[in-house]
Structure 1
Amino acid sequence: MEDVYQRAVHHNWAGHSRSTNNHGEAPQSKETAVKKRFLKTLALTAGLALTLGACGSGGTGSSPAGAKDDPATATGTIRVMIPTYPLSNDGKAEFQKVVDAFNKKYPKMTVEPDFVTYNNMNEKISTSIASGQGYDVLVTGVGWIQPFAAKKVFKDLGAVGVTTDTITKDTVEALVPTVTYNGKVYGYPMIADARAVALRKSAFVEAGLDPNKPPTTMAELKAAAEKLTKRDASGKITRPGFDFNAAAGAYRQAYITFLGSAGTPLYKDGKPNFNNEKGISTLNWMKSMVNNVEPFGYQNAAQKPLVLTNEAAMGFVKGAVDCSDKGIGQKNCDDLSYFLLDDGAKSEFVGGDIAAIGATTKHTDAAWAFIQALSTPEASNAQAKLNQKIPASNSPAAQEQAQSNPLSKFVSENLNHAVFEGGAANWLEVRNSFNSGFDEALLGKRSAEEVLTSLAAQSK
């Protein structure tokens, strides 16, 4: 078989870069360009949605849209948009394994991948529809399902027998709201991008705090962070007491985590749930932390969590840690402990990669078969390892990566406490306003109440 990964790189992705910060967003210096490109894309997608019902886009082949394919004889091409595999030898090899598994069931079908990033994903979707070549399989993230399901870009997975019971049985029940829209399932969780809070045991002991009793409420967290913060003679912070692990324009996910710890999801039944007393007090609390225990937007050159390398005493981390000599080393790992915030409810921020079927595909069954190939234990572990995430599958065989290091094990065990972003049908548009609005509130340029009221008015 032709190496599909290399073919995609040669034809589609010469000079492609995966440069993003640790939240999967473009660095702040590119924010304006990304925002302009996104708004342009969103407008295009909204207009194209009106014509999707009559459009014949989708994988090439002679079958009518939604027709049943005989796996042994079906021909045509499955077009796959996916951000999960990096353009590296390891990424190439792992994606080819998925293609090979798919071709065991559909030996005469071709897979045409488009390796995207989360930065250009929306534009790629819109362009594909405009060209009449919509994708058959689309891997997007948490927050993408509702907006594109509303625009009829994704197919209701009831067509292949997937229900909320299926998601609950096969993956993590807490992720059901991330893949549903108006009571129907439009996505299948593959890997989860979970976050926790880490502390340095040595820093806690030095500050007279008990590392075995981590702070969990916002008040306790602030009190501990202030004790842990180190300053020089001029008062400049030399070691943050708490690391938000956020550049300017990227405090959105931290806010969602803290709000979730107060028992308040960002949206409830698609409606804003943050322009209230808890939402306002949470944002004001964050303001009281910024430039108090960590400078606004402070990060190291690698844009990695400061707490992992003892550059901060406590802070947010992602879903995996490499304790080998190639990573942070065993000594650093031994000095770390992980916990969740609980100011009324435990809160673990979870993003992740979700697979969907294009609404206008001509090969529904084959598209679903490819998603199943992406979701095998072997494929799930490989994708999780490549992206420092964890499998969303409930299968014990898919938990190899989750059990491979102490941080992944911790976040995996707490996925039932998931909080996540999105929920509004126009989330992909309004999230940019969250980024800029939060910066203004944290820097005292606008009040928390004013910012949140404005964001609620923009949510649809």
Structure 2
Amino acid sequence: MLTATTGFYPRTGGDTGDSVMRSTARRGAAGILAMCGLLAGLTACADRTASASHFTTDENPAEVGGTLRFMTPGYPTTPDGKAALKKVVDTFHRTYPKVRVETDLASWAHLNEKVTTSIAAGDLPDVMVTGVGWIPPFASKGAFADLGSFGLTPKTLAERVRPGFVEPAVYDGKVYGVPSIGGAKVIAYRKSVFAAAGLDPDKPPTDLAELRAYAKKLTVRKNGRLERSGFDFWVNPTQHQYTQNFATFLKAAGGSFYDSRGRAAFDSPAGVRALEAMDGLMNSDRAQDFATASGDGSPMVLSGRAAMGFMGAYVDCDNKTGVGEKVCDDLGFFNITDKEQAMFMGGQIASISSRTELPGAAYQLLKVLTSPEAEADLAKLNLAIPAARTAEGSAVETSNPASEFAGRNTAHSAYSGGADNWLQLQDEFAPALDEALLRRRTPRQALDTLAGKAGSM
């Protein structure tokens, strides 16, 4: 049974296993990727130009034997998780009965480190599931196979998955993975709180300026102590990690992390405007104190301790197991909009090793992993939404208002990352945002410093 959204991060990958990996794993990734750069051309790291143009499907898959290694963070070791994974393997064996599947249920906290260590050792699993923002760094190292030999192009992938899911799977115009689920961070508000404050509960904020004005009006403090946040960023109080929030504000302001040539673009006027809006909400409007969070890590908008704020793309509306129908009926949802609408999206993307010796079997497993049934199971297990177009309006998506809103708005997805140096830069990103939000540096200074580091990587 699904439970109410809890924990600091969605269970799907994003900028840091976006959704969020721990900093120790990120440091390991940066170090190993740097090592691969130094060892370019040696067998310890895959060649940047490695391709899968020689990959083909098998004429007689029933006679193919061997072991297929599969690494994924998508299936928890619960009875439901084990049952869902067994269905995937059993379905695969209908086509490849003689191929043994060896599964590594890596956690998001260690997945990055495992993949990069495997790259350095030249021993990648045949099929891997990683997160949004991971394709460019690993595809640029030649670790992931170009899926063009299996007929996947950006155009054909767009016919298969919903708007917003193609970009994270593409690098240099080629497809290196197939998205299976998306882990959105939607923005919710409490209609009753709006009404009590004299705001129209059917008209949420329409731009960054209005967002700040609403948040300021909805904030409640007593003797300086925060009683109710006007806007909750929903972050881990010990790790902060405002990067995903910045990604949403950045897209809303009309910006992006990188330009089409892979150069840093987050320090653009749009980036400065986005970070200034976050700084203004926190420090000028005092809508939330730095690193404020609920005791159990759940979104504060669900408990009523925030009038508006980020939350995951799932909420349990059951009166016994979740927040209850009354709370769900009181929730409204909207996208931050300034120049354009924006909704943060993490996710899980299945890829094939460029060095696999069983390409046909690997692609068959990838197809099973991204089938409608498997995606529905993954979405339930990870409190996410399926990526496939065929899942629009499905039962798993319409089971609760947060998922339903996320499913309708995938075209407005905002991501962090987008270039091959992201896994190195992201370790610097969160602390730099903290410096700006704590007003130790201006937003312009913080972003300029990050852009300088990106240019030297």
Mark yes or no: TM-score above 0.5: yes
Shift of 1:268: 2.1
**2:207 paired residue number:** 217
Measured at CA, do residues 31 and 154 of structure 1 come closer, stay the same or move farther in structure 2, by a change above 3 Å?
Answer: closer
Q: Does 1:423 align with 2:418?
A: yes
The match for 1:303 among 297, 301, 311 is: 297
Distance 2:315 2:305 in 1: 16
Does the alignment pair 1:315 with 2:309? Answer: yes
| Partners of 2:8 and 2:234 within 8 A in 1 | no
Within 1, Cα distance between the matches of 2:329 and 2:390?
29
Contact 1:242/1:293 (8 A) holds in 2:
yes
Q: Are 1:174 and 2:164 counterparts?
A: yes
Task: String of CA shifts for 1:19-43, please: whole Å, max 9, x gaps.
Answer: 97315669xxx95544543333333
Cα displacement (A) at 1:365: 1.2
Match of 2:228 among 239, 250, 253: 239
The answer on 1:377 being equivalent to 2:377 is no
Alignment of 1:100-115 (within 5 A): 100-115=90-105
Over 3 Å counting, the alpha-carbon distance change for 1:47 and 1:383 in structure 2 is farther
Measure, in 2, the Cα distance between the counterparts of 1:450 and 1:114. Answer: 42
Aligned to 1:12: none
AA aligned to 1:41 is: I
Equivalent-residue separation in structure 1 for 2:339 and 2:448 (angstroms): 24
Kindly indicate whether residue 369 of structure 2 is the aligned counterpart of residue 343 of structure 1: no
CA apart distance, 1:408: 0.7
The 5-angstrom pairing of residues 24-35 of structure 1 reads 33-35=24-26
Query: Are the aligned partners of 2:39 and 2:45 in contact in 1 as well (CA < 8 Å)?
Result: no
Change (3 A) 1:206 1:67: closer
Shift of 1:130: 4.4
Equivalences for residues 235-274 of structure 1 within 5 A: 235-247=224-236, 248-269=239-260, 270-274=262-266
Indicate whether 1:22 and 2:22 are aligned. no
| Residue matched to 1:9 | none
Q: Give 3-state SS (helix, strand or coil) of 2:230's partner.
A: coil
CA distance 1:39–1:429, change in 2 (3 Å):
same
C-alpha displacement at 1:127, in angstroms? 2.9
Matched-pair contact (CA < 8 Å) for 2:190–2:331: yes
Alignment of 1:130-169 (within 5 A): 130-169=120-159
- Asked if 2 retains the 8 angstrom alpha-carbon contact of 1:49 and 1:152, the reply is no
Q: Secondary structure at the match of 1:272?
A: coil
TM-score by length of 2: 0.89
Deviation at 1:68, TM superposition (A): 4.8
Query: What is the match of residue 91 of structure 1?
Result: 81
User: Any gaps of 5 or more consecutive residues in structure 2?
Assistant: 1-5, 48-53
How far apart are 1:300 and its partner, in Å? Answer: 1.1
Report if the CA contact (8 A) 1:249-1:438 is conserved. Answer: no
SS at match of 2:63: coil
The alpha-carbon deviation at position 169 of structure 1 amounts to 0.4
**Distance verdict in 2 for CA 1:397–1:49, change over 3 Å:** farther
Q: Mark the CA change 1:203 to 1:262 in structure 2 (over 3 Å): closer, same or farther.
A: same
- How many matched pairs? 430
How many angstroms apart in 2 are the aligned matches of 1:130 and 1:282? 37
Q: Partner of 1:59 in structure 2?
A: none
Letter in 2 for 1:339: F
Structure 2 Cα separation of the partners of residues 458 and 376 of structure 1? 40
| Map of 1:458 onto structure 2 | 453
Pair 167,245 (structure 1): closer, same or farther in 2 beyond 3 Å: same
Please report the RMSD computed on the Cα atoms of aligned residues, expressed in angstroms.
2.2
Q: After superposition, where does 1:187-226 map in structure 2 within 5 Å?
A: 187-226=177-216
Measure how far apart 1:304 and its partner are: 1.5
8 A contact 2:10–2:382 mirrored in 1: no
Aligned partner of 2:100: which letter? T
8 Å Cα contact 1:381-1:398 kept in structure 2 = no
One-letter amino acid of the counterpart of residue 8, structure 2: N
Name the structure, 1 or 2, with higher relative contact order (CA <8 Å, separation 6+): 2
The 1:398–1:118 alpha-carbon spacing in structure 2 relative to 1, beyond 3 Å, is farther
Q: Is the 8 A contact 2:250 2:271 kept in 1?
A: yes
User: Partners in 2 of 1:207 and 1:41 — Cα distance?
Assistant: 52
Distance 1:175 1:258 in 2: 19
8 Å CA contact 1:52, 1:152 repeated in 2:
no
Structure 2 CA distance for partners of 1:197 and 1:160, relative to 1, 3 Å? same
1:388 to 2:392 alignment:
no
Contact 1:390 1:402 in 2 (8 A): yes
Q: Is 66-75 or 166-175 further displaced after alignment?
A: 66-75
CA distance in 2, matches of 1:54, 1:411: 38
Shift of 1:175: 2.2
Deviation at 1:67, TM superposition (A): 6.2
| 1:304 counterpart letter in structure 2 | S
The reply to whether residue 228 of structure 1 matches residue 218 of structure 2 is yes
Post-superposition CA distance 1:362-385 (Å, at most 9, x none): 011111100111111111111001
- TM-score (ref. length: structure 1): 0.88
